[in-house]
Every structure is written in structure tokens, then in C-alpha cells.
Structure 1
């Protein structure tokens, strides 16, 4: 079971890695962070399509998800605390863990740098992108907030490899959107018509649903008529 150490206390992330695409020296690595209800296995259907697109997928389980280090009682207490300072410290540590994982993976796997990182446009492959879904953006936004606190050599390493951050269907609270702005959005957790004991299952169906929409049919124009 692949595990990555993300601090000096022995904290670990479980991850799955598709490996470097065969015969592609300048592939791009995509690090995938899951949402709040599902773990990284939600991304497994993408695996068969990765190599043909010169992409290496790394599916990461953050703390308290299968295979990764659970939160300690003191960490859970801080998360549930009414103290904003304790909550902030808890989130800061989660961002530091993501930074540590990225740095660890870059150095362990010797992934290629962004093409052009030494001066040209950087339009080729190489480097890594970081994607988080839904609640997972809380963790990656915390990672960005910690970037300036990293040692200079770590900042330089990430600067040579991190090519993009993808906020995939972010939850509103991950971006600090006030609740009174987003309350109009349907959410089964807030729906009084959904019985309390069914809210969990209703949320899972809602947050993972895919809706196929039909492409609009081209409008047919009537032939013009002469008015002469």
C-alpha cells in the first residue's frame, strides 16, 4: 500500500499512482484530491484514459480517509472548537501536508519539470497540476495560503513544477462565500422536506449526479419572401 510521509510526526497520505506514461519523457502529472464524502477511488474511472493523453494520475486520500493517518482527538477537538484560531491552525496544517506531499512526490519520482520552465513559453508537458473536487478545495486553498511560509528552496521547487490549480465544482464555503449568498442553491442537507435520517444518502446522490443535456437543435429559418 503506497504511503507518503507528510510531516515529521509520521503522518501519512495513502495514494494510488498510474506511473509515468510509457515512452513519454515529458508527461504531465495530475494530483487529484477528493471531496468530503468520497475518497480518491472516485477518480479510478479516469485511469484507463491517462496514458494515451500523456498524463500520470496520482489519487490521494487526505487525512482521516482510508489508508491515511486519522485525525487525533486533539485535532478533532480543534476542528470542532468555537475558537477561530484553533480552526485556522487546523486548516493551516492541512495545507502544509499537501505541500509536503507535492514536494515528496516530485523528489521521489523525479517527475519532469514544466517544459520551458527555464525561459520559454512553457506550453509543452511536464510539471504537475493539482485538482480538488468540492470540499477538497478547502484543503488546496489552504495549501496556497501556506506557500509564502515555505522555505525558499521549497518555493523554488514548486515554482518549477506546479503548472496549475484546478478548482473543480468547489463548495462555496471552501472559497469563503457567505452562507446568505449561497443559501438559494438547492442542497439536500438544508432541505426541510428530506428526513434527517435520509440526508446523508440524498447528499451522496445529489453531489455525484451527472445530468446529460441535449444539444439545442439548429433553428430552421423560413425562406425569405419577396415583397415586390
Structure 2
């Protein structure tokens, strides 16, 4: 059943629309998962997850990001800030997401993180024993990881009040990167990359772009570097070890969509604005924010220090996301070796001089695991939240 759309009005006249699964019945320690969609595909893409949330002691909130259905479009000045790489654009988005979360938590009485609760719950209390730790997890899919990077990386955000930070630090326990693309982290492509990029393909007319992009991004790829023993894409792989030349596979997730599902779930206009995130000035800014969010020892220990990272990727996703996971694994391992990972006094959430990152390869999944395998996908999300 499709949940009704709600809208919150934030300061500055900003509106954000969303759907909510509601709280699991008679549970005290459920976890709320805020899901942020990527480019082209809005929050409708996640609607199947609502049906599985309560059985996993989760509450799912599907947010339409700025510029998408029911949420306030970017102004022309904001688009200029984005294209110029001005960090204030990302600071504003982070503050707005924080304001939305605070409003939702207060209105709905969301339970705090178990570790932050002032009184211990009895083991016999309702809800315990079924899993759950209270609090909020923020999940970004594809380009939806950009708001998470801005949230964790804008550590000197003047729009983020001390009061707002002090409130949210009691609730947010995990951030989940779900199949992000390399632009989210400002990773520069190798100069000899020859993998296919649809928005650089002059053969795609403006009328054909949406269909061409949808087929490309929802295909199932067979990467030569796939390790059948570990059922993963190894950190030793390179961008040249991926199935990156094809425009689509025989099997795609979108091939079975009805005209109604396409109309509800895809939006081309805002996606064209987000292509600006690939511009060099924007990539430079995102590179800085990523370092502060994930790898800078001071930032990770002073800004939401108890928040860990989970990176979920499909082993048959497109190269643009497969390479991002491989590269993030590589950088995390290199950082761990450089800064040492054997110290006994390391914080489990900040890890070896950086924020802790765990990696889950979803075997056989493409970029649309939430659509093609929703129950399995949400079980993995629940597992990642509850694994110490």
C-alpha cells in the first residue's frame, strides 16, 4: 500500500515532502531510517520498503529531496552556488536536513539511541529481543549520498546551530552509503578511463536521455574482477577491471515498469541540475567535504563522533558505482595502514584515525536492489544498523 505524502514546512519557506511507514506497533526501541533518493529517480523508488519495515523493527521515512516532487525547487541563485562549488550550498542542505530530522523526531516522539538513553530499559520491556537500538539512521542511495557527505563533512557549518547539533547527536547513530557514484566523494576519474558515460554521449538526444539513462543505470553487469570466493568486488581491482563499455544489459530493472510507475518515480528536470555535481569546482568542494566527513581525525572525532558508516554496493551494479565502492575500500585500507589499526584505544566508530566504515557487497544485486529485492535489501540495512 502506498503511504500518503506529508509535507513539513521549514524555516525560510522551504518545504520537504515525504512518506512514513509509521512506528512499529508496541515497540520501544525501533530505529528510524531516513532514505534519500538519487538523481532522476525520486523517493517513490523506495515505496516497496514500507511493507517490510515493521517486521524488522524499523520505521522508514522516504524523503523527496530538494528540487523533487513536492519539495521546494532550487532557486537560480542556489544553482549558481552549486555550479561554482560554493560550500554554502552544501552547508544549507545539511542544515535543512537537520531541521527536518529535529522536527520529525519531536513530532513523532522518536526513541533516542539506546546508548544515549538516560535510563536503561528492562530486558523484559516491549520491543527488546526483536532487535533495534532506537535512534535514526540516514541512508543515501546513489546521488542521495551527497546530502550525507555535506551533513558529516561541513564541520564548520555556521547554519547548523549548537542547539541543533546537541539535539541530533542524541539520535543519529549510522549513515549508510548505498551504491553511491564517484562524484559524491569527489573522486577524480583516471585520465585513461574509457567506460561509458551516458550524459557525455552526444548520440543521446534530450528526448531519449531519460530512457537511455534508465536502461544504463538499472542494468545488470558482469564485472571481470568479481571474486566468486568472497562474493565481492575486491579493493585490488581498478576501473579497467569493470564491465563498463556496455550501454545496457539484456536484463534491466526498469523494463517491467508501467507507464504509471515511470511517471510517479522519475523526474528529468532536477536531475539535469544535479549533473553540475560533476563539474570541476563542485568536485573540488566535495573532495574536501569527503575528507572531513570520513578521513580527517579531528573532524571525525569532533563532529558526530559516534556515527559510523556502512557502504552497501551491488556486485552487478554499473561501473560508476562499482568503482566508487572499490576506491572507497582502497582509500579506507590505505588510511588504516598509514595511521595504524592495531591501537587498543581506538574508538570503534572513529577507527584508525578516521570514521569507521564497514562494507557490504550485496551479491548479484544491481543499482536497484531496493526495487528488485526489497525484503533482502532492507534486512541487510537492519543488519548493518545493529552490527556493532
Question: By the TM > 0.5 criterion, same fold?
Answer: yes
In the TM superposition, what is the alpha-carbon distance from 1:41 to its structure 2 partner? 0.5
Match of 2:12, SS state, is: coil
Distance (Å, rounded) in 1 between the aligned partners of 2:193 and 2:222: 25
Gapped runs of 5+ residues in structure 2?
Answer: 121-130, 230-388
- Select 2:40's aligned residue among 37, 42, 45: 37
Distance (Å, rounded) in 1 between the aligned partners of 2:34 and 2:193: 31
Q: 1:145 to 1:45 in 2, by over 3 A?
A: same
The residue that corresponds to 1:154 in the other structure is: 164
Confirm whether residue 167 of structure 1 aligns to residue 173 of structure 2.
Answer: no
Distance (Å, rounded) in 1 between the aligned partners of 2:221 and 2:52: 22
The residue that corresponds to 2:7 in the other structure is: 3
Q: 1:181 to 1:25 in 2, by over 3 A?
A: farther
Q: 1:204 to 1:160 in 2, by over 3 A?
A: same
Confirm whether residue 115 of structure 1 aligns to residue 124 of structure 2.
Answer: no
Deviations 1:41-94 (A, max 9, x none): 0000111111111100000011110101112222233334xx33xx32222211
In the TM superposition, what is the alpha-carbon distance from 1:212 to its structure 2 partner? 9.8
- Select 1:205's aligned residue among 206, 212, 215: 215
The residue that corresponds to 1:13 in the other structure is: 16
Confirm whether residue 79 of structure 1 aligns to residue 68 of structure 2.
Answer: no
Deviations 1:164-215 (A, max 9, x none): 00011111011010133694444333456x53343331211222345699xx
The residue that corresponds to 2:72 in the other structure is: 69
Any conservation in 2 of the 1:148–1:155 contact (CA below 8 Å)?
Answer: no
- Select 2:136's aligned residue among 109, 113, 128: 128
Any conservation in 1 of the 2:53–2:60 contact (CA below 8 Å)?
Answer: yes
TM-score, normalised via structure 2 length: 0.49
Number of matched pairs: 208
The residue that corresponds to 1:103 in the other structure is: 102
- Select 2:205's aligned residue among 160, 181, 196: 196
Q: In proportion to residue count, which structure has more helix?
A: 2
Match of 2:146, SS state, is: helix
Confirm whether residue 23 of structure 1 aligns to residue 26 of structure 2.
Answer: yes
Match of 1:47, SS state, is: helix
Distance (Å, rounded) in 2 between the aligned partners of 1:29 and 1:40: 16
Any conservation in 2 of the 1:114–1:124 contact (CA below 8 Å)?
Answer: no
The residue that corresponds to 1:138 in the other structure is: 146
In the TM superposition, what is the alpha-carbon distance from 1:98 to its structure 2 partner? 1.2
Match of 1:9, SS state, is: helix
Q: 1:104 to 1:185 in 2, by over 3 A?
A: farther
Q: 1:49 to 1:212 in 2, by over 3 A?
A: farther
Distance (Å, rounded) in 1 between the aligned partners of 2:77 and 2:198: 31
Distance (Å, rounded) in 1 between the aligned partners of 2:188 and 2:25: 46
Tell me whether 107-116 or 140-149 shows the greater mean CA deviation. 140-149
Larger radius of gyration between Structure 1 and Structure 2 = 1
Distance (Å, rounded) in 1 between the aligned partners of 2:192 and 2:211: 22
Tell me whether 201-210 or 170-179 shows the greater mean CA deviation. 201-210
- Select 2:51's aligned residue among 34, 48, 61: 48
